[in-house]
Chains A and B, each alone.
Chain A
Amino acid sequence: MPVANVQVSETPQVLYALRRADDALILGHRLSEWCGHAPMLEEDMALSNIALDLIGQAREFYTYAAKIEGKDNDEDKLAYLRDVRQYRNLLLVEQPNGDFAQTLVRQFFYSAFADLYWRAMMNSRDATLAAIAAKSEKESAYHLRHASEWIIRLGDGTEESHVRAQAAIDHLWAFTGEMFAVDAGERDLIRAGIAIDPEGLRGRWLNTVSGVIGEATLTFPQNDWMQQGGRVGRHSEHLGHLLSELQSMQRIFPGLTW
């Protein structure tokens, strides 16, 4: 018996919470794939820890999205019963782990943004968003520190690690622009003081990123084309595979409690 996807009434506010939740879940899921396979036990611990933080953030945003939607959805229905076209995460976070450099560069780009974003969201007029942001900011500050230290170690480590770190930057750079894009609905929420205007964070994000990349003796790629689509469900081919794994139990055994 096929399991139907849930339908979500994507009002701007629901969509706003859903996008944050999807970012956190997909990145958390990716990091959790490392568990048991990291280059050293300390990184098994660290990557799992960051994954746990992100999954925790996802749960809060999903629960909030379901609440403001006010229908029959909940965190698990939103996570397990939407298909690839209904997912609203950034393309960046769904990119495969690749090698350790690719995982850490992906984390670095995202955490450098998330840290600023949550800090700004602490002033949201929406009390729930402000509260989730306050908790998430503490976590992302640590995630950013962890990733930054690794980018510097890898960039300024051995010749091999430098080449790998540079390749990861070159590969993932095109997915960073999407973090700063907003649509009309989100623009209204920004005007209402609920959502955060990412454009206002771009300068500081670039400062952080170029500071670390410089210290790591790495460089930005020449090509500045930015790939987008995740926010409206036009994903890379990678997300479908991730979801088929993540959702397998709920799809095979519909409607059960676990």
Chain B
Amino acid sequence: MYTQALNTAEADDRHVEDAARAAQFQARIDAEERIEPNDWMPAAYRKTLTRQISQHAHSEIVGMLPEGNWITRAPSLRRKAALLAKVQDECGHGLYLYAAAETLGTSREELVDAMLAGKAKYSSIFNYPTLTWADIGTIGWLVDGAAIMNQIPLCRCSYGPYARAMIRVCKEESFHQRQGYEIMLTLCRGSTEQKAMAQDALNRWWWPVLMMFGPPDATSQHSDTSTKWKIKRFSNDELRQKFVDATVPQAQYLGLAIPDPGMTQDADGHWRYSEIDWAEFKQVLAGNGPCNRDRMAARRKAHEDGAWVREAAAAYAAKRQHRQTAQAAE
């Protein structure tokens, strides 16, 4: 219902795959041209992007929950306002991304329904709990930091609406990341108790954050075609390494220890991390993370509790339309 504005003149034949069109499409991608909603595209390209953009949108929305958990308990009015504004930004990102996904022909309602039904994924990281205020700093610093690593290359993604959405999202994420780091800095310069709180948060979030970049390259399913289509420009492991290299000096500046005793710096300056526990990652993806059930329950509750409000808005809009039509006829 939100996608009516799109040109559907080609609707009948735009899914027809033919070699010439596919070659032309790939040539445009290779020439770094942006693909726009009404352009012909292979069905698999549409499907991949719909999945990726909607997962990204779901992540923004589910991601409101762990941080939202601290809005009512933020330790100062300044922190309360900043956190509320940040979570509101995430909601805005979600809306923006659903709109980008809709340009590919699937409505926001369908996408949200798929998420609520457990058929669509969101980022594994939001299935971990925020237990202390330091978690809010750590999420800003590391989770948003990792998201930026992932999303900066997406600003050059071949699909125009997604690339443009990412430019704006990255600007805000970068602000969030600095805000998170500033919370950590305040904690680390504070009392012994505060610094311990910061270290504890880093200990709990470090490995789940590294998992955010996805499975190792050797086992990644989607990378080949995504790379060919210039949706993805760096591999999971490349981005993960970039993130680790950027983050280690930041942790050192804070005086915090990365919870990886086996970590070493190689001759090229790269920080080599230990083996990631992929079994944990699989469990979280399978729905068995510490908060999967809570997150889904919270989103479903908001959706179900809000049904009567959405129905009222629709009923009122219909009544109004009817009255206006009747008035015009008089």
Contacts and interface: CB of A to CB of B under 8 A. Distances in A.
B133 A75 contact: no
A258 interface: yes
Interface in B113-170: 133
Interface stretch (B22-30, B63-71, B260-268, B280-288): B63-71
B171 interface: no
B81 A56 contact: yes
Interface stretch (B47-55, B216-224, B250-258, B313-321): B313-321
Interface string A134-169: 000000000000000000111011101100100000
A128 B87 CA distance: 31
Given A35-B87, A36-B68, A55 B81 contact: yes
Interface residues of A, number: 48
B193 to A, nearest CB: 7
A157 B310 CA distance: 10
A157 B312 contact: yes
Given A153-B316, A158-B311, A257-B190, A249 B81 contact: no
Which of A44, A45, A257 neighbours the largest number of chain B CB atoms within 10 Å of its CB? A44
Q: Is the interface of B mostly helix, strand, loop or mixed?
A: helix
Which of A29, A35, A158, A256 neighbours the largest number of chain B CB atoms within 10 Å of its CB? A35
B310 to A, nearest CB: 6
A35 B311 contact: no
B6 interface: no
A194 to B, nearest CB: 25
Contacts of B190: 256-258
B76 A36 contact: no
Which of A42, A80, A253 neighbours the largest number of chain B CB atoms within 10 Å of its CB? A253
A258 B87 contact: no
Interface string B288-308: 000000000010011001111
Nearest to B193: A253
A39 B306 contact: yes
Contact of B84 (A51, A152, A245): A51
B95 A45 contact: yes
A236 interface: no
B194 interface: yes
B309 A36 contact: no
A75 B77 contact: yes
A48 B83 CA distance: 11
A116 to B, nearest CB: 26
A37 interface: yes
B291 to A, nearest CB: 13
5 contacts: A32-B84, A35-B68, A39-B310, A41-B94, A258-B133
User: What 3 pairs between A and B have smallest CB-CB spacing?
Assistant: A39-B306, A157-B312, A161-B312
